Amino acid sequence: MAAPFAVRRRRHREAPPERGGARRRTAASSGGAGSAMLEALVAGGAEGLVLVRDNAACEGRSLLRAFVTAAVQRAERVLVVLFDVPREQFEAGLSPSVKEQLLYRDGFTDPLGWSGPDPDLRAGDFGGLLAGGLPSGGAPDAGAGLTQLAAAAPAPPLPLPGPGGPAGGGPPAPDESFTLLPDGSLRSLGVPTPTPEEEDGRPPPSVARTPGSPRDSGGRAPSHPLTFRLQLSAAERAARAAVPPPYQLSTPKRSTLLRTPGTIVCALEPPEDEDPEDPDDDLDV
Amino acid sequence: LSALALYKSRKVLQGKFTLLRDTRTDGSFLVHHFLSFYLRAGCKVCFVALLQSFSHYNIVAQKLGVSLTAAKERGQLVFLEGLKSCLDLLFGEEEKQSGQPSPLQFISESTSNLKALFDFVRTSLTPAGSDSWKGPVLLVDDLSVLLSLGATPVAVLDFIHYCRVTVCYQLKGNIVVLVHSNEDSEDEENELIVNSLCHHSDLILWVEGLATGFCKDVHGQIKIIRRASLELTAEQDLVQIYQYKIQDKNVTFFARGLSAAVL
């Protein structure tokens, strides 16, 4: 039985590089914080570069396989560039109909040319492969290589869109849970808990936010969301202003306080039973 | 360690990459265990021993019932003694010895890759026609020393990648590698290598010293992580934690808190 995973995803939308005859990438509308964003991405909503970042405790190759399976089912041409695992290990878990549709370039066996004169793909050729060597027609998924290029690096968190970064940077999508079905496809289990931004009382983030300030109106970076709200709404502010402070006494209350004599009640505790033993008994003075 | 039923079907398992990782303590007892285990199982072993001398390993192996000298003589064990090779390389005489480049030539030469070391491993473990050994095994003690000798992390990772391709996938053998790690360490290159190796390992044996300090009866804690998530069924990794005490000829394992001294 497949266990559910939770994966934080970041979408990168880059300006397409200027290359002759390059694939045309259209900027899709922002996915928003919908709960089925992951399913939508796997089903073909992914535009541009999608980076799957995993860690040693939770591997991401099965998510990659889900992307591959969905792409094959959409009759897209899929090129899998292998750097980290051999073909048999990547194919494990894919159905035979999917397996025969995949094109492979093997950068795993001999990326540096140490073993023989003619490796299939050298590590240095990967850039060239992306630039022009891909088969034409359709939008191929760059496969396993990217996962490993991401996973091999020690993980500083990916930067939030800064000034000059991709436009339309919205709040990062919430974590989604998903499970992988035996046939290799993916089923999203939605967002596990509501994010703090969705609770009411908070003004929604403005649409005209500049890319250089991915901060909410509280001045906090969204990477550390609070579970409580720091700001007051106008109604709350008015209500607070209407409450008199406790040190301001109205005249009847003041006279009542002055009239009643203050008394101090002291209740003595019963004396404790003293220990008859002399604690200094064992001193040899 | 065998009693942990880790290795019930060990001989059937091939092509596995085992990572030995130690933090705040010395995990070399695992290296001695694996060395004698594989020699007793009849596998051909290539041991890249960078940390200690041959006689050190020999003495410990004899306590465990295996003679390294005899294994070397019958060709079952190929031993690269890093300490001696380094000295020969740096201070050796002018005469060329058999024309073969030293496996550790990256120290003195300008080539920054570990291809010579990989070639050494490959020629040692590629089965010759007359060999009747069971699967090849590569043992490395330890990988962090390569960084100290001046290899870049990328070079070390390339070396391990090629070893994995050749030994695990082509020759269907096993690899066992020891690395040191420390979660607070400032040695980023080492942590980079350890992190990368964790991704590729099928089995991680993580030996840690006790957080509370030295103890006479419990020498440390071992975490056994079986990476089931790398296999087909996408399960979570299986993690088991035991504490251990090293004795003269063996190591006893017990559940946490159940040391014999306490019961």
pTM to 2 decimal places: 0.65
Residue environment code for A30-51, b if the CB has 16+ CB neighbours within 10 A, otherwise e: ebeeebebbbebbbebbbbebe
**Domains of chain B from N-terminus onward:** 18-92+99-203 (3.40.50.300)
**Average pLDDT estimate for B54-78:** 90
For helices B28-40 and B54-63, angle between their N-to-C axes, nearest 10 degrees: 70
Do the Cβ atoms of A114 and B229 come within 8 Å?
A: no
C-alpha–C-alpha distance, residues A187 and A35, integer Å:
12
Q: Which residue has the tokens 């397996």?
A: A99
C-alpha–C-alpha distance, residues B40 and B28, integer Å:
18
Which B residues 64-83 touch A at CB under 8 Å? none
The alpha-carbon radius of gyration of chain B (Å, integer) is 19
Residue A115 and residue B169 in contact, taking contact as beta carbons nearer than 8 Å = no
Tell me whether A108 touches chain B (CB under 8 Å).
yes
Tell me whether B36 touches chain A (CB under 8 Å).
no
Do the Cβ atoms of A59 and B199 come within 8 Å?
A: yes
| CA angle, A52 then A58 then A63, to 5° | 40
Encode chain A (285 residues) as per-residue pLDDT tens digits.
433 443 434 333 333 333 333 333 333 333 334 446 777 777 766 677 778 887 776 777 778 888 888 888 888 888 888 888 888 888 877 888 888 888 888 888 888 888 776 667 666 666 666 665 454 433 334 343 333 333 333 333 333 333 333 333 445 566 777 777 766 667 777 666 554 444 444 444 433 333 333 444 444 445 567 788 888 899 999 999 888 887 887 777 778 777 777 778 888 888 777 777 777 777 776
Tell me whether B226 touches chain A (CB under 8 Å).
no
CA-based nearest residue in chain B for residue A152: B196
Give pLDDT, residue A4: 40
Element (H, E) at A63: helix A61-73
Do the Cβ atoms of B236 and A151 come within 8 Å?
A: no
- Is the pLDDT at B235 greater than 60? The verdict is yes
- Is the pLDDT at B58 greater than 70? The verdict is yes
Share of chain B above pLDDT 90, in %: 13
List of chain A residues whose C-beta atoms are within 8 Å of the C-beta of residue B157: 152
Q: ipTM of this complex > 0.95? A: no
Do the Cβ atoms of A3 and B195 come within 8 Å?
A: no
Q: Which of B34, B83, B81, B21 is nearest to B60 (CA)?
A: B34
Tell me whether B181 touches chain A (CB under 8 Å).
no
Give pLDDT, residue A48: 75
**Average pLDDT estimate for B246-259:** 80
Tell me whether B152 touches chain A (CB under 8 Å).
no
> From the candidates B122, B123, B162, B201, which should be mutated to test the interface with A, based on the most A CB atoms within 10 A?
B162
Q: How does residue B176 score in pLDDT terms, banded at 50, 70 and 90?
A: very high
CA-based nearest residue in chain A for residue B188: A154
Structure tokens at B154: 């990328």
List of chain B residues whose C-beta atoms are within 8 Å of the C-beta of residue A151: 199
Beta strands of A144-185 (E only): which ranges?
A: 176-180
Among the residues of chain B, which ranges form H helices? 28-40, 54-63, 68-73, 82-91, 115-125, 143-148, 153-163, 188-200
Give pLDDT, residue A270: 81
